[in-house]
């Protein structure tokens, strides 16, 4: 099968698990509405210059449809109070309660019936409208200038351009976490977080496909790609992250707690990506390079915007040992390599449709796919052919718990 055909198949699968632009727009309207609420003069946080921003997959443009119809979307938000609140003036608990007071007023004003839920790091609001999602809002304050400078220097040491290092380090914040020993006391050792900086870094990786993104902007009649919402970039990197996350979700549908973390998949995929404009080439590079980007010692998967932080910290955490997170990551990676190779080589449209359904939860039309690819019968729906000996698409892994050669 030609590379063009492989790319078209992968694009079709990615497109079938993507969410419509209207869903992104709905989410965007939510956080803009929340930002306006926090900006009111009557708001508890008004005098502290609140900044509301999206984070996570909605910010990156890598959201995928839930595997099950009853599933919800996660809309991750940040609420940063930029002046007047410091580690010397407030405890983490006081900051969280301050932000929570405005969120509770917002819940009542917008008629959200379900009670607000207090999570370890955030407040959760659940919407009961056509687009089922919950909104998690993490309170934070800016990290100190000295700490941001140290992080900037650490990022530069990883080989990142100084301009990018400065941009992402400047958005480093300190967040609340009620599991911390100092949650209720004045203390300067808060947890760090930098979701905005990570988004800038992820965008810089997407921009390696400069010509393709310039064409995206041209098609949308925008002066430059930065004028478009990130979800409209539809870059090969975004598509690869979406399809890898969905493959993970299907493979670990009965082991949600043990599945490889989205932030690890997103980080390693972005680091492996080198600007390929073709999605099949991008996916090949990512899957073949991922294992080389995991360090043998901590930090195993460094946070690119805070290199001392380890996204793989649960791999060796005694409290998480029963979930075998590292073992399952390697098992997933090997299975993904096998499955994408198989789909890429298959020429029977019926088997491609079957693989898309079993491995990615993607619903493709055999008739439409046959017409688009120019292979197999074009008139009428194809009846899936019998699976040849040695070729199958089971829902469970084909490989041992841990591939040989992986520690």
For residue range 327-355, what is the model confidence (pLDDT) as tens digits? 999 999 999 999 988 876 767 888 888 88
Instruction: Inform me whether the pLDDT recorded for 387 exceeds 50.
Output: no
Average pLDDT, integer, range 109-118: 94
pLDDT for residue 2: 60
- Looking up tokens 């099949």 gives 280
Average pLDDT, integer, range 382-401: 39
Lowest-confidence range among 10-14, 39-43, 55-59, 373-377? 373-377
pLDDT for residue 347: 74
Mean pLDDT value across the chain = 88
pLDDT for residue 73: 86
Contact at 8 Å (CB) between 35 and 265? Answer: no
What does the chain come to in residues?
A: 407
Lowest-confidence range among 11-25, 94-108, 149-163, 259-273? 11-25
pLDDT for residue 51: 97
pLDDT for residue 366: 83
User: Residue 84, by phi and psi: left (phi above 0), alpha (psi -120 to 50) or beta?
Assistant: left
pLDDT for residue 1: 52
| CA atoms of 335 and 42, how far apart (whole Å) | 54
Average pLDDT, integer, range 224-243: 94
| CA atoms of 344 and 352, how far apart (whole Å) | 9
Contact at 8 Å (CB) between 217 and 225? Answer: yes
Instruction: Inform me whether the pLDDT recorded for 388 exceeds 50.
Output: no
Instruction: Identify whether 299 is preceded by a cis peptide bond (ω within 30 of 0).
Output: yes
Distance set, CA 362 to CA 17, 106, 131, 198, 218 (Å): 6, 37, 20, 29, 30
Query: How is residue 391 annotated by DSSP?
Result: -
Instruction: Inform me whether the pLDDT recorded for 58 exceeds 80.
Output: yes
Torsion sign, CA atoms 129, 131, 136, 142: negative
Contact at 8 Å (CB) between 359 and 250? Answer: yes
Which is nearest to 143 in space by CA: 187, 194, 84?
194
Q: Which residues contact 324 (CB under 8 A, 6 or more apart)?
A: 258
- Rounded to the nearest 10°, the torsion over CA 104, 105, 110, 112 is 20
Instruction: Inform me whether the pLDDT recorded for 398 exceeds 60.
Output: no
Confidence band of 6 (pLDDT split at 50, 70, 90): confident
pLDDT for residue 394: 40
| CA atoms of 91 and 85, how far apart (whole Å) | 9
Instruction: Inform me whether the pLDDT recorded for 103 exceeds 90.
Output: yes
| H helix count then E strand count, the chain | 14, 9
When comparing pLDDT for 19 and 182, which is higher? 182
pLDDT for residue 71: 80
Q: Helix, strand, coil: what percent of the chain each, to 5?
A: 50, 10, 40
Lowest-confidence range among 155-169, 218-232, 238-252, 379-393? 379-393
Would you call 170 helix, strand, or coil by DSSP? Answer: coil
Confidence band of 203 (pLDDT split at 50, 70, 90): very high
| CA atoms of 84 and 89, how far apart (whole Å) | 8
Which is nearest to 199 in space by CA: 55, 51, 303?
55
pLDDT for residue 407: 33
Beta bridge partners of 125: 135
| CA atoms of 232 and 196, how far apart (whole Å) | 18
Strands 173-175 and 117-118: unpaired
Which is nearest to 40 in space by CA: 92, 109, 86, 139?
109
pLDDT for residue 92: 98
pLDDT for residue 385: 40
Write out pLDDT tens, residues 355-386.
Answer: 888 888 888 888 888 887 777 644 333 344 44
Contact at 8 Å (CB) between 172 and 197? Answer: yes
| CA atoms of 37 and 45, how far apart (whole Å) | 10
pTM, rounded to two decimals: 0.89
Compute φ and ψ for 115, nearest 5 degrees: -60, 150
């Amino acid at each position: 099968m030609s590379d063009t055909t492989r790319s078209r198949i992968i694009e079709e699968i990615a497109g079938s698990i993507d969410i419509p632009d209207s869903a992104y727009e709905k989410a965007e309207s939510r956080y803009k509405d929340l930002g306006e609420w926090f900006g009111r003069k009557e708001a508890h946080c008004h005098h502290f210059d609140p900044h509301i921003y999206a984070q996570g997959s909605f910010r990156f443009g890598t959201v995928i449809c839930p595997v099950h119809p009853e599933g919800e979307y996660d809309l991750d938000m940040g609420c940063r109070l930029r002046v007047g609140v410091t580690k010397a003036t407030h405890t983490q608990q006081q900051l969280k309660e301050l932000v929570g007071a405005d969120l509770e007023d917002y819940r009542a004003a917008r008629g959200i019936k379900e009670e607000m839920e207090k999570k370890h790091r955030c407040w959760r609001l659940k919407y009961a409208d056509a687009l089922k999602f919950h909104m998690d809002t993490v309170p934070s304050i800016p990290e100190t200038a000295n700490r941001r400078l140290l992080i900037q220097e650490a990022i530069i040491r990883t080989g990142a351009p100084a301009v990018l290092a400065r941009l992402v380090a400047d958005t480093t914040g300190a967040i609340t976490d009620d599991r911390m020993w100092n949650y209720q006391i004045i203390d300067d050792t808060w947890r760090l977080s930098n979701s905005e900086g990570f988004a800038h870094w992820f965008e810089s990786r997407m921009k390696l496909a400069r010509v393709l993104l310039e064409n995206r902007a041209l098609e949308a009649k925008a002066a430059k790609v930065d004028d478009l919402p990130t979800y409209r970039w539809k870059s090969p990197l975004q598509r690869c992250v979406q399809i890898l996350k969905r493959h993970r979700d299907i493979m670990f549908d009965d082991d949600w707690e043990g599945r490889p973390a989205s932030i690890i998949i997103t980080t390693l995929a972005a680091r492996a990506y080198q600007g390929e404009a073709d999605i099949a080439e991008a996916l090949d590079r990512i899957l073949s390079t991922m294992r080389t980007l995991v360090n043998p010692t901590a930090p195993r998967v460094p946070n690119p915007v805070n290199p001392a932080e380890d996204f793989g910290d649960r791999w060796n955490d005694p409290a998480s040992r029963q979930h075998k997170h590292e073992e399952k990551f390697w098992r997933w990676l090997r299975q993904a390599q096998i499955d994408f190779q198989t789909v890429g080589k298959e020429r029977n449209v019926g088997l491609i449709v079957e693989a898309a359904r079993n491995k990615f939860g993607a619903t493709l039309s055999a008739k439409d796919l046959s017409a688009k690819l120019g292979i197999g019968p074009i008139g009428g729906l194809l009846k899936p052919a019998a699976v040849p000996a040695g070729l199958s698409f089971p829902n469970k892994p084909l490989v041992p718990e841990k591939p040989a050669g992986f520690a």
